[in-house]
Structure 1
Amino acid sequence: MKLWRWILLLVIAAAVAAFGWHWVAEDPGYVLVRFRGVTAQTSLLAAVVLLLLAWIVISMLWRLARWPFGAVSRRHRRLSQQRLADGLVALMEGRHSEAERDLSRASRLDKLRGPSLLAAAEASSRRGEHGRALGLLDDAAQVAPRAARVLRARVLRRDGKPAEALTLLTPEADSGSLSPGGWREYALAALDAGDTRRAYEALEPLQKSGVLGARAYNALETQVLVASVNAAPDGAALNTLWSQWPKGQRRAVAVIDAYARKAASVGQVLPAMDVVESALRREWSSQLAETYGSLPGGDLEARLRRAEAWQEAHPNDPGLLLALGRMCVRLSQWGKARQYLERSFALAPSANAWEALGAMYAGLGDATLAQRCYRNAMATTRGEATESLPAGNVVGGRLDTRPMAMEERDEHGVPRLRP
């Protein structure tokens, strides 16, 4: 508080005291107490002061008399608080057995019973003892029922029982009274249970609650949308789902990729290509460029010419080069396929690149190299070592891995000078 406020308060207090004293001095009052022949008389103000002093003395004597009896409870409270602190630190450090022990002891204090039991249940769940965690949550539900219900759903989901977790949270979700953390568990349980409709319903309250940061929410939203696309039973359901979503949800790269692949799998190749082309015009994505080359059907030669036109702006994009190589393989243009796949593999070796190389060698009739490429694709997926190809072949020892020397222009169309 600023200095002038203290001065103002002191002035007001002095004025009140002065006027009060003047008011009492005019008529101090008279108090007479007579008991068993003893008579005491004084003014009203002195009697009030004596009563206050007597109350203070009696209170101090009472506290002094109670102090020995409260020493045990104070020690119990201090130890419980220390155990709660130690248990939480152990939980964060991954010492789950110690955390559960300390937190269970801390729960003996009534004021700490709820948070201690909840944290102890989390420690048990992280140890894999889900049954013990559920038992602790039964006790915690008597003190903190909402938090215990959310944590119970998390334990059930970790235990591989997402349907039970979803059933547990559904009544509160339907009534709209689910806590922010409960909405997150509801969405994750619905995803694990394959109920994409309920997972999508949880997105709006999750966004409003702000329980997740922007990055975490976007990741969860993308996961739900991709699962919803993949769960569409046919083309009609897929189109209905896609048309109902707002534009913001239809612009994530992973969502567009999932829609394009799903649409192509149900025979809607043209809509899949249109969505991918629109997304690439709006913002370039190596992943979508690769997906564009793997879509079945359609006018493959026209699609190849369109993709080759993109190469002028993105000459060293491995996803685009892989797409071009795949389309050339399907068109039996082996020379161009070899060039594109060689460049793509040099820039970004991947299981998909090995698979495309295998398809190229199979088309050329070289079954030995084709099988080796397919084995390398599987080994790359598993994180294992790959077999090298003979020298002079694609990805052989003499491969030129320098970026393609193509002209690059700035935003004004002026060619950039290379160093």
Structure 2
Amino acid sequence: MKKLFLLLLVILAAGAFIGELMVKDPGYVLIAYNQTTIETSLWVLLVALILGFALLHGILSLISRTQLPTARLQAWKEHRNQRISRRKTLKGLTSLSEGNWAQAQKQLAQAAERSDLPLVNYLAAARAAHEQNNEKATDELLQKARNSTPEAELTVAISQAEIQLSRGQLEPCLATLLRLRSMAPKNTYVMKLLKDVYLRLNDWSALAKLIPVMRKHQALKEDGLAELSRQCNSQLLQESIDKLPVETSAEDRHKALGRAWHNLPGDPGSDPELVQRYTELLVSLGADDRAEQHLRDLIKRNWDEQLVNLYGRVNAENAKKQLDTARSWAKSHSESPALLLTLGRLSMRNQHWGQAVKYFEQSLELEPRSETLAELARLLRHLGDQDRAQALLQQNLNLVASGLPELPMPEAVAEKTPA
């Protein structure tokens, strides 16, 4: 209230001062142009200029705030189109989630024509068309998505690759993914799709090159990458033999397999499953002596129960030397169930039957395993000790029939004695 009062006082004082000036000297202004002259006082001219400026400002503001009928109509149409597009998009996505592919395709495609963001609609409609196995419509909708939003080429191409992979179009899918890798080399989803294509194409060499990149960018968990690497390396070993001509000699096959083993990335000898695969391939080529030497070197470098077990399955030419090698390990690994099982098998190869029985029994005592039980029971039967073999199997029935559910059993029936 005080501020308003002070403002009025200031205005009155200013008005009084200006009024006094106007009375004292009104001034004189003459404007002449061609044959026309305008005479007025200075103060009237100032008031006219102020009123003219205010009037012009008001007219311009009114024009800027008032839309022409055509502009209002255009805005109404755009708002209506967006409302219809949102409604059809919602219906289309609902149909898509419910598996109504034909209806989803129609609704989403129609919504895309009115939408200001048609990319999502076209991609979803392409997915619906794909689910109907309508390849022509799928490709057309993908192209419309590409044309509607050129800057989203990566997104459209990923959808295209997924659809090609689902169709089984592996070569076109590979071409699409390789182009995507050049566009987005760090995209982990593209790497996963590329991995799936290589697996289905059995392109193990390409997959071997991709795995380190996937590991660098953490495209898969480490256990998944380890399993994938093991599968890939195993197939590379097999491929090194299979790709050779039929007339290739056994020696050349051994050399090819050896080269493939040494060319594997990392330390393949630290993977018992991969070592087992390599050993099996050597044995299949008749190279048991090489397999025995290879296993001996690995076990000497890094003791592994699985490899020791595998050593007992290799039939090297010099069975006595192989047994002596295994016996030398017993000095520092006397309590190894795998070594005792291997010693039992190698003793059988040397026809040391009694010693083999002792080794099998010691191994079974340390670690009850069905494999050891089967070896001991088989040996006892061939030695003519059927009763002992049967008793052994009965005592270790849980090893032979592991995994049986708990079920009620009848009470034991006493044997009838003759009167």
Asked if TM exceeds 0.5, the reply is yes
What is the 5 A alignment of 1:125-274? 132=133, 137-139=138-140, 141-142=142-143, 143=145, 145-156=156-167, 165-166=170-171, 168-169=173-174, 173=178, 177=182, 180-233=188-241, 234-274=253-293
What is the 5 A alignment of 1:321-332? 321-332=340-351
Task: Give the conservation status (yes or no) of the 8 Å contact 2:161–2:176.
Answer: no
Mapped to 2, the partners of 1:231 and 1:284 lie a distance apart of: 29
Corresponding residue for 2:86? 77
Corresponding residue for 2:247? none
- Could you say what secondary structure the match of 1:42 adopts? helix
Task: Give the conservation status (yes or no) of the 8 Å contact 1:191–1:227.
Answer: no
Select 1:396's aligned residue among 385, 394, 397: 394
Q: Does 1:280 align with 2:299?
A: yes
Corresponding residue for 1:11? none
Give identity over the alignment, percent: 19
Mapped to 2, the partners of 1:174 and 1:326 lie a distance apart of: 56
Structure 1 residue 228 displacement after superposition: 0.8
Mapped to 2, the partners of 1:106 and 1:337 lie a distance apart of: 77
Q: Based on CA coordinates, which of the two structures has the bigger radius of gyration?
A: 2
- Could you say what secondary structure the match of 1:41 adopts? helix
How big is each residue's C-alpha offset from its partner over 1:35-72, in whole Å with a ceiling of 9 and x where there is no partner? xxxx983279x94x985775456499967984587346
Q: Which of 215-224 and 55-64 deviates more?
A: 55-64
Structure 1 residue 293 displacement after superposition: 1.5
Residues 73/299 of structure 1: CA separation in 2 closer, same or farther (3 Å cut)? same
Q: Which amino acid aligns with 2:391?
A: G
Mapped to 1, the partners of 2:75 and 2:100 lie a distance apart of: 34
Q: Which amino acid aligns with 1:337?
A: A
Residues 138/328 of structure 1: CA separation in 2 closer, same or farther (3 Å cut)? farther
Q: Which amino acid aligns with 1:169?
A: L
- Could you say what secondary structure the match of 2:312 adopts? helix
Q: Normalising by structure 1, what TM-score?
A: 0.57
What is the 5 A alignment of 1:15-34? none
What is the 5 A alignment of 1:10-159? 41-42=52-53, 47=57, 55=64, 58=67, 66-67=75-76, 70-71=79-80, 73-77=82-86, 80-81=89-90, 84=93, 98=99, 104=105, 107-108=108-109, 109=112, 110-117=118-125, 120=128, 124=131, 132=133, 137-139=138-140, 141-142=142-143, 143=145, 145-156=156-167
Task: Give the conservation status (yes or no) of the 8 Å contact 1:203–1:221.
Answer: yes
How big is each residue's C-alpha offset from its partner over 1:229-259, in whole Å with a ceiling of 9 and x where there is no partner? 1222121211222222343455333222222
Residues 362/59 of structure 1: CA separation in 2 closer, same or farther (3 Å cut)? farther
Q: Any stretches of 5+ residues in structure 2 without a counterpart?
A: 1-48, 113-117, 146-154, 242-252, 400-419
What is the 5 A alignment of 1:293-308? 293-308=312-327
**How well do the aligned residues superpose, as a CA RMSD in angstroms?**
4.7
Task: Give the conservation status (yes or no) of the 8 Å contact 1:253–1:288.
Answer: yes
Residues 112/187 of structure 1: CA separation in 2 closer, same or farther (3 Å cut)? closer
Structure 1 residue 141 displacement after superposition: 3.9
Residues 172/360 of structure 1: CA separation in 2 closer, same or farther (3 Å cut)? same
Q: Any stretches of 5+ residues in structure 1 without a counterpart?
A: 1-38, 91-96, 125-130, 158-163, 370-388, 402-419
- Could you say what secondary structure the match of 1:261 adopts? helix
Mapped to 1, the partners of 2:134 and 2:222 lie a distance apart of: 31
Mapped to 1, the partners of 2:95 and 2:341 lie a distance apart of: 55
Q: Which of 49-58 and 71-80 deviates more?
A: 49-58
Residues 65/117 of structure 1: CA separation in 2 closer, same or farther (3 Å cut)? closer
Q: Which amino acid aligns with 1:392?
A: A
Mapped to 2, the partners of 1:349 and 1:174 lie a distance apart of: 53
How many residue pairs match? The answer is: 318
Task: Give the conservation status (yes or no) of the 8 Å contact 1:226–1:254.
Answer: no
Task: Give the conservation status (yes or no) of the 8 Å contact 1:257–1:291.
Answer: yes
Mapped to 2, the partners of 1:342 and 1:52 lie a distance apart of: 105
